Chains A and B, each alone.
Chain A
């Protein structure tokens, strides 16, 4: 137990040195580390949001909202399809729960109905299941003429999956344009997106940019009324939408949009040449420009509404046909809100509404306080434990202390190498590791002491002490390691932060007990040749 071959000794010391070197950059500021030559280790610990401040936003796809929107478009698809020649008579077409329902008048046409609606079931390719197509909708045609198209489970699940993928892309484009923060955007579970922005002071702007659907549409205006007034008679195919900035004003709009955000190629925040107010100017695609030109030509002196997420930003009157394919949106913008709208329009709209289901923001001040307190507590804990160990074990106590300190440094080194995040519960994990690391030394020393008291020679006692205690240490620590690993995989937030440092700490504890402490004691034995053990 006390013999080490030369290469083994070198290997142990090399591992310890790598751990320590990896931890070194954490002692310096980011600027200092950046100025080091490239061969030096530069990676620093990632601090959790609770330590450096920042925003944690968990979004969820609003499936209900998405389904309802999709079903409304399905209704108009069905209407168009049934109006084709030969026409099929129907009644009661509308959204019913999770599906669309209608009744066919002439039962002899049921086969034709099945054929037409089959085309609307919208097969979605499914690469995960080896290319088998999943239909978005289930179709049932009853012999009594009742036809139902409902969302299929698999179809919805796949839709949600692709919505999350698209949303992540859109959010990344939006945040990219912001330029200042480097947030991480990840899928979480089936229908959630986690946005984390470390070091961000004010999350409001980020929330505005991430959470807005930013669905831009242009509609022709059919009239307007004040809230509280009797709603005027509406034509079929129109909808009512409120004004964004003037409370109480409602517009009646033609439901089918003239243009959507897809028809835009570019958007920029600029100033209006006459009023000098911030506005957003946009350019249309060739197709969009043609449509817009045609519509404005046919509707001079009529108003059209610019609608963002079902709210009317402005409703200017068409004075002359707009043929150039560009225009501007004005509507009480500040410089920043014009800028943000331009970013949203450039990055494209989210495919579905996202709602925040969990949000945690920590200001930089609180984080800094926590780090300071954590540092002070760790230093005091280390000093107090070391003092206690020296009081109890004398010189061997110093060896234990060196082992424990190397252990802690290695935890930080490994966390730095792995890019793991250190949070406040993580610091607690380090401190509890100090406790168990000390325990491994105590187990060894107490065992040596016991062996010596039972009459063995000093060196034989040390040998036997290590031999027997290491078995115990292994069992005890593997048990704890199992707990820490399970917690890491199943836990979330603070539990995970704790489990990371604890698991790494247990691993380094086993390593130091089996190699480094043993090596130090072996060197001491070779140097002093003790005949007596004073423990």
Chain B
């Protein structure tokens, strides 16, 4: 039986010559994401803004969004967003932070419950008070920074400092582009989104380290070839693996996206985007960074003693 080969053997794609094109593209996308983040801004959910989300499901009749919106807007609890979610009977109601501290949030929700009454089942209620929302955003940022720092130290320890810098730049590129994804799609940005971004960071690092590991090995094997050609060779050698792994991960994520239900749909979409960004980033950002930061080809010899001895190949 012939097996499926998505990538032919002995490819020789000149990735490093393409870097004159791909690196600026990556830089452009990142910068655009940052600009969009500060000008347009993501659609923050209640986790970071504070406020209340209620999901209701009407028992038999289709919900009349206009009527619900009208009734709730008359309550004097600020702007009320009403939209359907998932199946036709479910409605998501979102109201902003109520002025007047934590108890005011509880009063607002009491009013909504009284208005909607018994016509619907309350499937989900989430209230995030003003104090907690700020902390959640702060803690998320801290978690991200500490993760980066810890990874950098590990990679520096195992490889060379250029690799540490490269893996962080590459992961940061993925994070920034995924933020950009949230701004462009205007999917709600909440704690779960942060989890999605952090996942892609994990995936990106995993992938970058795999590529770096191969670059390091190739560097030790061939002394006479230029750094650019060496990196090309390493990436091409790994291309089969990269494509197969990406395919399996995407297959898993796509089934989660299609069949996993409404609650995590946005989450998986961001991860799908993040996985693609991570692959792009390891090849088109992490690898060229080694050249830009002037990795010396003999640098690894000094570290060779802590690496396992490998038979030289002709």
Contact = CB atoms under 8 A, between A and B. Distances in A.
Interface stretch (B34-42, B69-77, B253-261): B253-261
Interface in A366-382: 366, 369-370, 372-374, 376-378, 380-381
Nearest to A450: B237
B6 to A, nearest CB: 8
A132 interface: no
Contacts of A361: 122, 124-126
Best-buried of B3, B105, B217, B258 by chain A (most CB within 10 Å): B3
Interface stretch (A12-20, A298-306, A343-351, A436-444): A436-444
Interface stretch (A25-33, A116-124, A413-421, A473-481): A473-481
B3 A534 contact: yes
A58 B202 CA distance: 30
A486 B244 CA distance: 29
B106 interface: yes
A368 B223 CA distance: 60
Contact of B251 (A60, A384, A476): A384
Interface stretch (A256-264, A267-275, A386-394): A386-394
Contact of A472 (B5, B147, B199, B214): B214
Contacts of B237: 450
Interface stretch (A243-251, A489-497, A512-520): A489-497
B123 A363 contact: yes
A483 B252 contact: no
Interface stretch (A157-165, A212-220, A423-431): A423-431
A479 B209 contact: yes
A431 B123 contact: no
B256 A487 contact: no
B93 interface: no
B245 A435 contact: yes
Interface stretch (A76-84, A179-187, A326-334, A352-360): A352-360
B205 A384 contact: no
Interface residues of A, number: 76
B259 A495 contact: no
A442 B245 contact: yes
B226 to A, nearest CB: 23
A427 B212 CA distance: 30
Contacts of A378: 256
B1 A502 contact: no
B123 A365 contact: yes
Q: Is the interface of A mostly helix, strand, loop or mixed?
A: helix
A471 interface: yes
Best-buried of B155, B158, B248, B268 by chain A (most CB within 10 Å): B248
A50 interface: yes
A439 B3 CA distance: 18
A88 to B, nearest CB: 40
A475 to B, nearest CB: 5
Contact of B102 (A355, A366, A483): A355
Interface in B165-220: 167, 191-192, 194-196, 198-199, 201-203, 205-207, 209-210, 213-214, 217
B124 A374 contact: no
A498 interface: yes
A374 B260 contact: yes
B32 interface: no
Contacts of A389: 248
Contacts of A60: 102, 131
B118 interface: no
B33 interface: no
A427 B268 CA distance: 11
B123 A356 contact: no
Contacts of A335: none
A369 B188 CA distance: 21
A425 to B, nearest CB: 5
> Which 7 residue pairs are nearest across A and B when measured between Cβ atoms?
A373-B261, A435-B249, A490-B143, A377-B260, A357-B129, A381-B255, A377-B259
Given A428-B195, A475-B213, A494-B194, 12 more contacts: A358-B128, A360-B124, A360-B127, A366-B55, A381-B251, A393-B3, A394-B1, A432-B199, A475-B158, A479-B154, A480-B205, A483-B198
27 contacts: A362-B123, A370-B261, A373-B260, A374-B260, A377-B260, A377-B261, A388-B248, A392-B5, A425-B192, A425-B267, A428-B264, A436-B249, A439-B245, A450-B237, A454-B313, A471-B213, A476-B205, A482-B151, A483-B205, A487-B143, A490-B146, A491-B143, A494-B194, A495-B140, A495-B194, A495-B195, A498-B198
Interface of B: 1, 3-6, 9, 55, 57, 101-103, 105-106, 121-129, 131-132, 136, 139-140, 142-143, 146-147, 150-151, 154-155, 158, 167, 191-192, 194-196, 198-199, 201-203, 205-207, 209-210, 213-214, 217, 237-238, 240-241, 244-245, 247-249, 251-253, 255-256, 258-261, 263-264, 267-268, 271, 308, 310, 313
